Amino acid sequence: MLRDLVLASLLAGGCVAADIGDDPVADEDEIELKADNGIFLSNGMNLGNGMNLGNGMNLGNGMNLGNGVNLGNGITGPYYAPPAGSAFERWIDEDPPMRKKILRYLVECALPAYKPVQLLYRGKLETIGIGNYNLGPSIQYGMMNTVDQERVSSCLLARVNARGELIVVDMFGPYAGFNSGTDSELTEYSYLEGAFYGNLFLATPTAWSCTASAYKVDACRLRACKTNPDGSCNCGVIQLAVGFSDRYGSHTGCTGFYGGYSYGGASCAMATITGTTYGYFSSCTGGTARYAYPMTTRLKPLASGQTCVQNEQCASRVCLSTGKCQ
């Protein structure tokens, strides 16, 4: 599927590495994306004169992911070129390595395969990413439509990893290239982690993670969250719609109820992954809204010492009381 990821540090079966400069497309719809690391989203993607384009004609914000008309900046293809002093430049300035990765993942999630994008930032021109998943093609013509915003948001959110541990993720969803697989593949990616969904491009961004664990979960044991120095949990822009499911089939998954109690009120419908006996979350609630484009994630078993939620997540099948795999 167009979905395999290896996420390390901060942040579906594949055969091609898709680092900058590599061919991003594997045979048909399979790819293994070896990311140098994942991302942590402290806020949404709505910048005053950067990411959130009004009509696609205002190029003063330094973003043109369409034909990349040369405006004297030496770039002839799709590009980011934040003007000096712009909100877009200041956004990158806050954490250049992380913000460049977010831009890279945005390109990979939104644009068609083989579409390279350059970044001109503080005098340096570099290739920032290559399109792959084609979940937000309307970004090439201006601001993405709502459907594309939600699809790209789910893709970005599924690639968040704040824990600093290597994990391997298989992604599924109601999109071409993400909705089919094989039973052997899903046996390899044996742990149903949950769903990621929302809209990062709104003026007030929405972002949700619904865990499919059968137990109440400490948020800081989820890869989307990290522990602050004071011991509090920081999930960035993500809100936890902590649902629970019976992965053996008697419940729909991420139902939001366990033992008669509601932990976040999440509710997700499921659809069958074509070619398998397994399912993915096909729509989910977050707050009062319902999102039609969640991204379902499945994990390979975790190694000894990695952070776990329950026994089924670990290769040893033992998740210790410390929250680590035996």
The number of helices, as runs of H, and strands, as runs of E, in the chain is 4, 18
* pTM confidence score: 0.83
pLDDT of residue 223: 87
Q: What percentage of the chain carries pLDDT values higher than 90? A: 30
Q: How many CA atoms lie within 13 A of 192 on its CB side?
A: 25
Helix (H, G, I), strand (E, B) or coil at 324: strand
Residue 82 Cα distances to 70, 118, 310, angstroms: 15, 12, 45
Computed over every residue of the chain, the mean pLDDT equals: 76
The 10s digit of each residue's pLDDT in 293-306 is 999 999 899 999 99
Instruction: Specify the residue for token string 């977010």.
Output: 102
Q: Treating both helix axes as pointing N-terminal to C-terminal, what angle do 146-157 and 96-110 enclose, rounded to 10 degrees?
A: 130
pLDDT surpassing 90 at residue 174: yes
Give the span between the Cα atoms of 259 and 145, in whole angstroms: 40
pLDDT of residue 266: 64
pLDDT surpassing 70 at residue 5: no
pLDDT of residue 151: 96
Per-residue b or e along 225-250, where b marks 16 or more CB atoms closer than 10 Å to that residue's CB: bbeeeeeeeebbbbbbbbbbbebeee
The 10s digit of each residue's pLDDT in 94-119 is 899 989 999 999 999 999 998 889 89
Least confident segment among 74-83, 95-104, 141-150, 220-229? 74-83
Average pLDDT over every residue of 67-76: 61
Residue 221, number of CB atoms within 10 A of its CB: 20
Residue 46 Cα distances to 13, 40, 51, 136, 206, angstroms: 33, 16, 6, 15, 11
pLDDT surpassing 60 at residue 233: yes
Q: For 141-197, what is the HEC assignment?
A: HCCCCHHHHHHHHHHHHCCECCCCCCEEEEEECCCCCCCECCHHHHHHCCEEEEEEE
